[in-house]
Amino acid sequence: MSNVEYDTQELAEKYDQISDSQYENGLILIDRLGLNEGSAVLDIGCGTGRLALHTAKIVGAEGKVAGIDPSPLRIEVAGKKVRKKSSGNISFKVGRAENLSGFTDSSFDAIYLCAVFHWIADKKTALKEIHRVLKPGGRVGLTTGDKGNPFTVRQITDELFLHSPYAGHVDIEDDTSKPVTKKELQALFKAAGYENINISTRINKRYYSTPQEVIEFVEASSFGTFLMHVPEFLRTAARHDIEKEVEKKRTPNGIEIVSNTLVAMAQKI
Ligand SMILES: C[S@@+](CC[C@H](N)C(=O)[O-])C[C@H]1O[C@@H](n2cnc3c(N)ncnc32)[C@H](O)[C@@H]1O
């Protein structure tokens, strides 16, 4: 079953407006990839295309950026931007990391996945496919949540669901988001044949006015899957309890949400 079945046009459009934290990490990723004019780049899980448009400016008219995402609704938002201000070097289509059969072997100089890897169910196949379509010497870069140090809302839900009335009804392993630890990521890259693997951690703190704003961000970022592993009869209570816990994170600057992002680079030799 697809993990984007709960996405809506409203969530996709909202994500485009409130995804600054992912975008800022993405700019670091693009910088580290060291792209040149003329580079051929694949953006996997491109979402609404914000970062792909930035990348298209770097690679210029001689380069190309292909963006794929399993959500047709997010591809639609991305496609509209291209129709408005395309320089012809960028394309978007529906697709997922585990199946890159639409692309030929050794065809990209660089591939990136910004805030996507934790959503991929079959990470081994995805990394193998990426390796296949990278040119020798090409690099893959990704940002992803750190399972060893989950972001504030995931910490709250993991703890909450251990207790009544959720215990026995919610399995946190059923969450659609499946982050890995730094060690697991290193091992996955190695097993898929990559070299020059480098993984660092970046800590982001963002401040929100209300718990509802926090939940709105999580819902848009998770394309509607948030709390879908909670049985329907407990979902309203869960949302209420999460909002109460989120409110406890209030500081003089607002509600503080901390995320630990793994920023990883690896090369196909
Ligand atoms: C948090 S958004 C990140 C979007 C974009 N990369 C950005 O930085 O704004 C996660 C994206 O991953 C996509 N996604 C989910 N499962 C995926 C998969 N198996 N392969 C590729 N993308 C996937 C979702 O549709 C969603 O657009």
pLDDT of residue 85: 64
pLDDT of residue 86: 62
**Atom 14 of ligand 1, residue of closest alpha carbon:** 45
pLDDT of residue 83: 77
Check whether 2 has a pLDDT greater than 90: no
Mean pLDDT of the chain: 96
- Is residue 215 domain-resident? yes
Q: Where are the extended beta strands (E) located within 133-225?
A: 134-145, 195-208
How far apart CA 204 and CA 64 sit, in angstroms, is: 30
- Is residue 1 domain-resident? no
Out of 99, 119, 120, 263, mutate this one to test ligand 1's pocket (max ligand atoms within 8 Å of CB): namely 119
Q: What is the CATH number of the domain that holds 117?
A: 3.40.50.150
Give whole-number Cα distances, 205 to 24, 108, 152, in Å.
12, 33, 10
Q: Are 167 and 161 in contact (CB under 8 A)?
A: yes
Which tens digits make up the pLDDT trace of 12-48? 999 999 999 999 999 999 999 999 999 999 999 999 9
Cα of 234 vs centre of ligand 1, distance in Å, is 27
14: nearest Cα among 176, 225, 219, 214: 219
- Is residue 20 domain-resident? yes
- Is residue 2 domain-resident? no
Cα of 255 vs centre of ligand 1, distance in Å, is 26
Ligand 1 atom with the smallest distance to the CA of 121 is: 19
Which tens digits make up the pLDDT trace of 193-212? 999 999 999 999 999 999 99
Cα of 116 vs centre of ligand 1, distance in Å, is 5
- Is residue 178 domain-resident? yes
Ligand 1 binding site (Cβ under 6 Å of any ligand atom): 3-4, 19, 22, 26, 44-47, 50-51, 69-71, 74, 96-98, 114-116, 119-120, 221, 223
Cα of 47 vs centre of ligand 1, distance in Å, is 5
pLDDT > 70: what percent of the chain? 98
Cβ atoms within 10 A of the Cβ of 254, count? Answer: 15
- Is residue 207 domain-resident? yes
Cα of 69 vs centre of ligand 1, distance in Å, is 6
What is the number of domains present in the chain?
A: 1
Calculate mean pLDDT across residues 158-164.
97
What residues make up the domain containing 248? Answer: 9-267
Sign of the alpha-carbon torsion through 241, 242, 248, 253: negative
- Is residue 4 domain-resident? no
pTM of the model: 0.97
**Atom 23 of ligand 1, residue of closest alpha carbon:** 45
Out of 33, 51, 94, 116, mutate this one to test ligand 1's pocket (max ligand atoms within 8 Å of CB): namely 116
Ligand 1 atom with the smallest distance to the CA of 74 is: 27
Which tens digits make up the pLDDT trace of 67-91? 999 999 999 999 999 877 666 899 9
- Is residue 3 domain-resident? no
Cα of 165 vs centre of ligand 1, distance in Å, is 32
Cα of 119 vs centre of ligand 1, distance in Å, is 7
